[in-house]
Structure 1
Amino acid sequence: MPFSIAIHGGAGTILREQMTPELQHAIEADLEKSVRCGFEILRSGGLAIDAVTAAVKVLEDSPHFNAGRGSVLTNQEMVEMDASIMDGRGKKAGAVAGVRHIRHPIELAKAVMQDSEHVFLIGEGAESFAFERDFPYTEQDYFYTDRRYEQLLSMKEKGLFALSESSYPDDKKYGTVGAVALDNNGNLASATSTGGITNKKYGRVGDSAVIGAGTWAENGVVAVSTTGMGEHFLQENVAADVAARVRYLQETIECAAEHIVQGELKARGGEGGLIAMDKCGNAHFAMNSSGMYRAMINTQGECKIKIYADQD
């Protein structure tokens, strides 16, 4: 049976003219480390659900992406993280939102799926569940980066919660991370993790934690992980809609993904994209933005890493 994996580190406005060679190299190195980490699990006969978890954990550990250690800050200068995961076998799923002291939110989402009767836990309750299962308590200091603090101060001065100016090449990028995979038993899986949006208030939660909007996996159909302005992806239920088009209309993942990303989503002003993988291990990256951090290792074992939308 074929197996493959694809990952993303967020989509949006990513500007070549502000990307230094050093930063690009560092980002590409993290993307390669992530996709190879997941692929090694698949190559050794492991499950897709474990591969996507491992790949996302690598991205959560990197300060270059808005998830885990690189998460943006809320209006209260805190990190609040969301994540979700779905196993194509029986469509089991787990999700968490608003967690502040968990180094790898994707691991907690997986624990919710595997070790509880629930699908979605939030805030203090999600963390209580984690600590009962011996997840280590991680201080907020671990997640702080100078870059995210500068972003927050700039946006507070302007009274914004979305970036209007850039001092980094990807300041206008919606920094979700995610992975989709097919294992050699034909199982599909998807995982998504994010720090949300800078200067968010009121316990805001986007699509990354919501099964059907940000994450979907269904054996024999498709695995999807999205990235973009979460409100639009929630309103269009993007991940599940891709799956529905594949399931009911027998569309290819490319046709289904492009129809939504370039159609309904773009029409309502939703910038971003998604990664999808079909039952044969074919991956597709769809975006209506200038870039998406992305990588894949296909069924032939070829590794491809890209940043900009105009890269073949």
Structure 2
Amino acid sequence: AAGARAALARARDAGAAVLAGGGDALDAVEAAVRVLENDPHFNAGRGAAFTRDGANELDAAIMDGATRAAGSVAGLTRIRNPVTLARRVMTDSPHVLLSGAGAEAFAATQGAETVDPAWFAIPERRRQLDELLARGGGAFDVDMKYGTVGAVARDVHGHLAAATSTGGVTGKRWGRIGDSPLIGAGTFADDRACAVSCTGSGEQFIRVGVAHEIAARIRLAGEDAATAADAALAEVRALGGTGGVIVVTPAGEALWRFTTPGMYRARATSAGLREVALYGEGEGGGEA
């Protein structure tokens, strides 16, 4: 846990440094997520979960709240920082979501940093797959510890951004893709409402459209962010899923909500708040 805490602090500070320097929210969320992708304590980038076939397949997304431009990638096996490629999809392609070999072909045109697939693999994740296979049974680990990483930010211009990156779930197969790279499910940003990044049981998060649901509740129903987040997570729970969200609003309210025993999280505000937490009751509020 100490290693995870340290990485969370580094990611938080990387994003906060961008914002403190007057940088934009997109740069901040990308910087924060890159730190976590490179750290083996999280299920994203290095340290990603293993598929049933013993590979690592990576998904990521990023979204700009000012324009609702978005980019995402799925099924990557060689790209060191999926979130950065997702941003290139947003800025340098006419598309939103690219997958697999096509996404990696696009990456080659962008000079994206590639690594040997073995770079992503760590023994602890392999052990989790071996345990799953030894138990037999379902298609993937229903008792999964999520570990998806994400960041949301509000910059000095009042603009929002969100980014999410994941290795999916242990034992996934058939090219399974969860909510993380799906705009409106695991990742969403809209300056009129909020920016959201999700972690949890992806199938249920997709079915609820959690990230967009929270934004819609704020924008159309006039709910505060905490009420909207709780309502969306209750929908997920009603469908048999659990997880958590981080949310930031145009007013600078930064909060989290989760229905799991814990969610590794951190935040920084312009008022000087610096926080890292791992477990708790799912509460979290505060002004940015």
What TM-score do the two structures reach when normalised by structure 2? 0.95
Q: How many residues align?
A: 281
Q: Paired residue for 2:191, among 219, 238, 242?
A: 219
1:6-21 counterparts in 2 under 5 A? Answer: none
Spell out, residue by residue over 1:220-263, the C-alpha distance to the aligned partner (whole angstroms, 9 max, x if none): 310000000100000000000000000001111111001111x2
Matched, 1:290 2:286: no
How big is the alpha-carbon RMSD for the aligned residues of Structure 1 and Structure 2? 1.1
Q: Which one scores higher on RCO, CA 8 angstroms, separation ≥ 6?
A: 1
| 2:206 alignment partner in structure 1 | 234
| 1:192 alignment partner in structure 2 | 164
Equivalent pair of 1:223/1:278 in contact (CA under 8 Å): yes
- Distance in 2 (alpha carbons) for counterparts of 1:60 and 1:268: 29
| 2:14 alignment partner in structure 1 | 37
Q: Paired residue for 1:56, among 33, 53, 66?
A: 33
| 1:107 alignment partner in structure 2 | 84
Q: Paired residue for 1:280, among 226, 251, 268?
A: 251
- Distance in 1 (alpha carbons) for counterparts of 2:197 and 2:242: 15
Spell out, residue by residue over 1:55-81, the C-alpha distance to the aligned partner (whole angstroms, 9 max, x if none): 000000010000000101111111000
| 2:64 alignment partner in structure 1 | 87
| 1:12 alignment partner in structure 2 | none
Give the direction of change, closer, same or farther, for the CA distance of 1:311–1:117 in structure 2 (3 Å limit): closer
Q: Paired residue for 1:162, among 141, 151, 158?
A: 141
Whichever residue aligns with residue 278 of structure 2, its letter is I
User: How far apart are residue 311 of structure 1 and its match?
Assistant: 7.6
Whichever residue aligns with residue 278 of structure 1, its letter is T
**Structure 2: runs of 5 or more not aligned:** 284-288
Equivalent pair of 2:262/2:282 in contact (CA under 8 Å): no
Equivalent pair of 1:287/1:309 in contact (CA under 8 Å): no
> Hey, which bits of structure 1, 4+ residues long, moved more than 4 A?
none
**Structure 1: runs of 5 or more not aligned:** 1-23, 165-171
Equivalent pair of 2:257/2:282 in contact (CA under 8 Å): no
Q: Paired residue for 1:149, among 107, 126, 138?
A: 126
Matched, 1:125 2:102: yes
User: How far apart are residue 309 of structure 1 and its match?
Assistant: 2.2
Q: 3-state SS of the aligned residue for 2:271?
A: coil
1:251-290 counterparts in 2 under 5 A? Answer: 251-261=223-233, 263-290=234-261
- Distance in 2 (alpha carbons) for counterparts of 1:311 and 1:225: 15
Q: 3-state SS of the aligned residue for 1:34?
A: helix
